[in-house]
Amino acid sequence: MAEGANTVESVNTVDDAPFTAFHWRVAIFGAGGWFVDGYVLTSIAVALEQIAPQFGLGGTATGLIGASALVGILFGALLGGTISDRIGRRRLLTLDLVLFVVASVLQLFVGSFLPLLILRFILGLAIGVDYAVCSPYMAELTPRRQRGPVLAAPPTIWFVGAAVAYAVTAGIAGLGEESWRWMLASSAVPAALVLLLRIGVPESPRWLMTRGRVEEAWAVVRSVFGENARVEDIAEDDEGNGGIRTLLEGGYLKRTVFVGLLWLLQISPVFAIYTFAPTVLRALGLGGGYVGSIVLSLLFVVGAIPVIFFLINGWGRRPVAIAGFVAATISFVILSFTGIPAWLVAASFVFYALFMGGAQTLEGIYPGELFPTEVRGTAAGIAAAMSRIGSAISTFLLPVMLESLGISTVMIGLAVLSALGVWLCLAWAPETRGKTLREASGLAVATMSSGVRANQVHDR
């Protein structure tokens, strides 16, 4: 079915507006935040191989360093989402990048375990704020035909950041035993570039409308979407009581749990593998070099390309999510067997990366689409925080489990998580393709069904 064929309505001057240079800017700086995230959380994998012996870290301390940024993301996402719903998106979009640049540079000067742990936590705080603010901002300012691809691209760019981090840090690694400092501090460069792109952007007009600032919203709408754009086209129904209470009611509570669990079950294996990629690949018999890690990152990107440009609007959100978890379950089951040939190990990783590369795009789409503007930031923050609970635990436990239980048990555990993801999507995954943002976030339409459209919402 062609995109938009499932709705019958008059043209919406905002959701059906043309895609302009401003929208490209939003898409680029939104993806840039995820690039920095991928860079930061991957560069530590290379740096830890120097840091651990230099600081005399055991498995537990190493796991804490690896997981500290993820714990920071948890708190940053919760705080950032709530704050952005109260004071707006624009200021936090730049403040979190300022914090990021400063914390990145300070890593040059740490001399022991505790200061490094604190700085990694602060970096996580900044990333968490960005997760909670950027996706809602992009969703609120992007026309519906491009909304899916624009929101799908940032999680994919995470893997580009990861691949670049492996390449850059592996090159820096040959500069001496203190080169890990430059590996970690180098994240200040992409963060500063993204910060420059965000300076001067307008406030979200949808957020302004929720605050009754209609004239300001109208000015932004006309500057972004054209002189003929109508501010009433971004008005929303009152779906709840407002604030956090809206997320605790009926369908919105279920959506919050769904998005958080989807994100958790997708990203926990990814972060565990990426943080300790050389160790995992060596345990699977593929060697401990970084070429395999870079290739794995690029495979996630390759798998996402057809989803971003074709499937997310043509096939839909729900089938993409289901296919990714099915592929992950099959891959981890194969990898749990000992003594399998190296080509099968490599093929399983390729299969996993290609399919999950497409499915992880939902981490950017669903948080921006399934909630009303007044709580969109809070909901995105809660979902990101839920995901980081699992990823922090899995990242902390991975070196311990590899040491005590072996690679086969680790892979069985990842297969179980992926199988739970299949069940989750079959039971709850909604379909929002082709809908206006108001329709996608409305309880009357975006139901947790088998994908069959619920009753039509009224026209605008």
61 Cβ contact list (under 8 Å, min separation 6): 52, 55, 113
Q: Give residue 54's identity as a one-letter amino acid code.
A: Q
User: In which band, very low, low, confident or very high, does the pLDDT at 218 lie, cut at 50, 70 and 90?
Assistant: very high
Residue 451 has pLDDT above 60, yes or no: no
DSSP 336: T
Percent of the chain with pLDDT over 70: 87
**How large is the greatest C-alpha to C-alpha distance in the chain, in angstroms?**
67
Question: What pLDDT sits at residue 450?
Answer: 36
Rounded-to-integer distance, Cα 82 and Cα 245, Å: 12
Rounded-to-integer distance, Cα 62 and Cα 396, Å: 8
Question: What pLDDT sits at residue 240?
Answer: 46
Rounded-to-integer distance, Cα 341 and Cα 103, Å: 43
Residue 25 has pLDDT above 80, yes or no: yes
CATH classification for the domain delimited by 21-201+236-441, as one of 3.40.50.1820, 1.20.1250.20, 3.40.50.300, 3.40.1360.10: 1.20.1250.20
Residue 7 has pLDDT above 60, yes or no: no
Rounded-to-integer distance, Cα 276 and Cα 269, Å: 11
Residue 202, burial from CB neighbour count under 10 angstroms (0-12, 13-18, 19+): middle
Question: What pLDDT sits at residue 285?
Answer: 59
Rounded-to-integer distance, Cα 82 and Cα 375, Å: 8
Question: What pLDDT sits at residue 159?
Answer: 87
Residue 199 has pLDDT above 90, yes or no: yes
For the ranges 5-14, 237-246, 251-260, the lowest mean pLDDT is seen at 237-246
Question: What pLDDT sits at residue 458?
Answer: 33
Residue 422 has pLDDT above 80, yes or no: yes
User: In which band, very low, low, confident or very high, does the pLDDT at 460 lie, cut at 50, 70 and 90?
Assistant: very low
Would you state the structure tokens that stand for residue 296, as one six-digit string? 């794995």
Rounded-to-integer distance, Cα 366 and Cα 4, Å: 18
Average pLDDT, stretch 5-21?
76
Residue 99 has pLDDT above 60, yes or no: yes
Question: What pLDDT sits at residue 394?
Answer: 74
User: In which band, very low, low, confident or very high, does the pLDDT at 440 lie, cut at 50, 70 and 90?
Assistant: very high
User: In which band, very low, low, confident or very high, does the pLDDT at 290 lie, cut at 50, 70 and 90?
Assistant: low
Question: What pLDDT sits at residue 59?
Answer: 77
Domain boundaries, the chain: 21-201+236-441
For the ranges 230-239, 363-372, 428-437, the lowest mean pLDDT is seen at 230-239
For the ranges 16-30, 258-272, 286-300, 327-341, the lowest mean pLDDT is seen at 286-300
Average pLDDT, stretch 236-254?
68
Residue 443 has pLDDT above 80, yes or no: no
Model confidence pLDDT, tens digit, residues 360-407: 999 999 999 999 998 999 999 999 998 878 777 776 777 777 778 887
Model confidence pLDDT, tens digit, residues 49-61: 889 999 998 878 8
Mean residue pLDDT of the chain comes to 85
Residue 186 has pLDDT above 70, yes or no: yes
For the ranges 154-163, 255-264, 334-343, the lowest mean pLDDT is seen at 334-343
Rounded-to-integer distance, Cα 44 and Cα 183, Å: 8
Average pLDDT, stretch 35-58?
88
User: In which band, very low, low, confident or very high, does the pLDDT at 22 lie, cut at 50, 70 and 90?
Assistant: very high
Would you state the structure tokens that stand for residue 376, as one six-digit string? 């969109």
Instruction: Give yes or no for a contact between 259 and 441, defined as CB atoms under 8 angstroms apart.
Output: no
User: In which band, very low, low, confident or very high, does the pLDDT at 457 lie, cut at 50, 70 and 90?
Assistant: very low
Better-predicted residue by pLDDT, 274 or 146: 146
